Amino acid sequence: MSNKTDDIAKLYDQYLMPTYSPAVALVSGAGSKVVDIDNMQYIDLTSGIACLACGHCHPAVTEAIVNQAKVLPHLSNLYYNTNMVLLAQALSRLSGGYKAFFANSGAEANENMIKLARLWGHEKGKYEVITFNKGFHGRTLAMCAATAQDKIQKGFDPMPTGFAYADYNDLDSVKAAINEKTVAVMLEPIQGEGGVIPADEAFLKGVADLCKEKGLLLLMDEIQTGMGRTGSFFAWEQTGVKPDLFTLAKALGGGLPLGAVLARPDIADLLHPGMLGTTFGGNPCACAAALAVITTIEKEGLLEHAKTAGEQLREGLEALMDTYPQILEVRGRGLLIGMVVEGSAKEVVDSCRMGGVLCCTAGEHVVRFLPPLNISEKDLEEALEIIGDSLEELYGE
Ligand SMILES: *Cc1c(COP(=O)(O)O)cnc(C)c1O
């Protein structure tokens, strides 16, 4: 570790709660490239954990943020917020008429989605939400309870009540978890943090049918899969199953904190002023950035590009399987790709970083790749070469 990075690491130890273990100190970025404090350049296949759909410092996104910051960076929800309603209008067009509520993060969006589902079920005394083992829904106390993973809950119990767990891609386990208190089933179309595990088409269809049959709401957490990541604005578009409510965050705000709940209008209209709220939710800078993200994705054909670039990445990684039997599987959709390895995924991530490629883990054995949706063929090719070299370093004789 260089002196400059080392200095920052020391400040971390002294002043921050020890909640993260960061690697390098990035100081600037453009497109799919970032530079660290010691001038080392990387190809970034994490895009801020799926937050930068248009890459680092896309001119349209940067300009939208800067222009808004110059005139009215914040205004509260006491007053009409033009950017917020224009963004809601855009999301309504993309979702087929759903209404929006804006929050500041993924966890907060999910919290509000659960509140709305509970409101819908309130008269019938229904409030329990079925979530899935290995899922991830955020770090607030209720979302820890929704996240059926030991490592997220341990030490913080007792957990808030109102959740039951089922196994992903196992319809019988969902059936078994339903009782008279059940109000909704909540899932990620692809489990991101849990290891890039896509839902089987038949499973999703089965859950949707089950929800209809039992009078339950279907909730989707599209915080990681949304905003073009899998090749359509929302992952559910490719599944033939439409949720009653769904959430967005990560890539929505173009790098600024922004989350959203999208809901069927008849459910949304159960709300009255004062029932949901948040000070910063729908911040005009964040909404301006989000509008620029949507425009850029449409203008630059990034949904299509996410599919072709995703193919390129997938094929490149699959080609490495021939040389390295330590790679067990490559899976995912669009530009949300997981590479399952026999040993430690962190070891692979560290080795790639040393070679100049940033990727991240999703659990112990899955290396996760989430490049910007506009990554060029050339950058991806270069990244694949570096990944190959890093695997050789790690796994070669
Ligand atoms: C990241 C993520 C969250 C949590 O979002 P925060 O903004 O960190 O609260 C929730 N669900 C999924 C699927 C995520 O990927």
Q: DSSP labels for 320-343?
A: HHHH-TTEEEEEEETTEEEEEESS
Question: What confidence score (pLDDT) does residue 397 get?
Answer: 79
Catalytic residue check, 7: no
> Which residue in the list 36, 221, 244, 379 is annotated as catalytic?
221
Centre of ligand 1 to C-alpha 107, Å, is 6
> ∠ CA 203-206-210 to the nearest 5 degrees?
140
Q: Are strands 33-36 and 41-44 parallel, antiparallel or unpaired?
A: antiparallel
Question: What confidence score (pLDDT) does residue 334 get?
Answer: 98
C-beta separation of 184 from 212 below 8 A: no
Tell me if residue 150 falls in helix, strand or coil. helix
Name the strand (E) or helix (H) holding 221: strand 217-221
Name all residues whose Cβ lies below 6 A of ligand 1: 105-107, 110, 136-138, 188, 192-193, 221, 223-224, 249-250
Centre of ligand 1 to C-alpha 137, Å, is 5
Give the position of tokens 């080609």. Answer: 319
Tell me if residue 254 falls in helix, strand or coil. strand
Distance CA(130)–CA(358), nearest Å, equals 34
Centre of ligand 1 to C-alpha 259, Å, is 9
Torsion (CA) 116, 122, 128, 131 in degrees, nearest 10: -20
Question: What confidence score (pLDDT) does residue 225 get?
Answer: 98
C-beta separation of 151 from 115 below 8 A: no
Pocket test for ligand 1, best of 190, 224, 227, 261 (most atoms within 8 A of CB): 224
Catalytic residue check, 250: yes
pTM of the model: 0.98
> Which residue in the list 101, 102, 132, 136 is annotated as catalytic?
136
Q: Closest ligand 1 atom, CA of 139?
A: 9
Give the closest residue (by CA) to ligand 1 atom 10. 137
Provide the token pair at 150: 């030991």
CA neighbor of 181 nearest in space, from 158, 135, 215: 215
Centre of ligand 1 to C-alpha 108, Å, is 9
* Helices and strands, number each (H, E), in the chain: 14, 17
Pocket test for ligand 1, best of 47, 196, 250, 336 (most atoms within 8 A of CB): 250
Question: What confidence score (pLDDT) does residue 335 get?
Answer: 98
Give the closest residue (by CA) to ligand 1 atom 6. 106
Give the closest residue (by CA) to ligand 1 atom 5. 106
Over the stretch 206-231, which tens digit does the pLDDT of each residue have? 999 999 999 999 999 999 999 999 99
Centre of ligand 1 to C-alpha 49, Å, is 10
Pocket test for ligand 1, best of 20, 188, 223 (most atoms within 8 A of CB): 223
> Which residue in the list 250, 307, 369, 379 is annotated as catalytic?
250
Catalytic residue check, 350: no
Question: What confidence score (pLDDT) does residue 2 get?
Answer: 60
Centre of ligand 1 to C-alpha 103, Å, is 12
- Each of the 397 residues of the chain gets a pLDDT tens digit; together they read 568 999 999 999 999 999 999 999 999 999 999 999 999 999 999 999 999 999 999 999 999 999 999 999 999 999 999 999 999 999 999 999 999 999 999 999 999 999 999 999 999 999 999 999 999 999 999 999 999 999 999 999 999 999 999 999 999 999 999 999 999 999 999 999 999 999 999 999 999 999 999 999 999 999 999 999 999 999 999 999 999 999 999 999 999 999 999 999 999 999 999 999 999 999 999 999 999 999 999 999 999 999 999 999 999 999 999 999 999 999 999 999 999 999 999 999 999 999 999 999 999 999 999 999 999 999 999 999 999 999 999 999 7
Q: How far is CA 10 from CA 16, 66, 206, 350, in A?
A: 10, 32, 52, 20
